[in-house]
Structure 1
């Protein structure tokens, strides 16, 4: 229930923002700002996985 509320509050209509963009620079900023958090989250997840996989203290 709470997750649905957060999802609903975080929905952003990217297509409408791009349609109403004043110039191309704004459009590029919207696209980068939309995808960058997901890319960073994926990189963070990979780093955590890689570090956990290669822990030396679990080899005993």
Structure 2
């Protein structure tokens, strides 16, 4: 499972930045590369918060 995730996340960001037509595209590429991690952190936090809330009851 872990190797599948690593395979899907392999994006050559350096090549995209090198071939970028302007600086706005570069910013978009950088933001787009961080979005999946931010979403995963948000989901993990929500699950953690929900589990802690159930534990108190």
TM-score by length of 1: 0.76
| Aligned residues: CA RMSD | 2.1
Runs (4 or more) in structure 1 with deviation over 2 Å come to 2-10
Q: Which sections of structure 2, spanning at least 5 residues, go unmatched?
A: none
Aligned length: 57
Relative contact order, CA 8 A, sep 6+: which one is greater? 2
The TM-score with structure 2 as length reference comes to 0.79
Question: Which one has the largest radius of gyration?
Answer: 1
Structure holding more helix per residue: 2
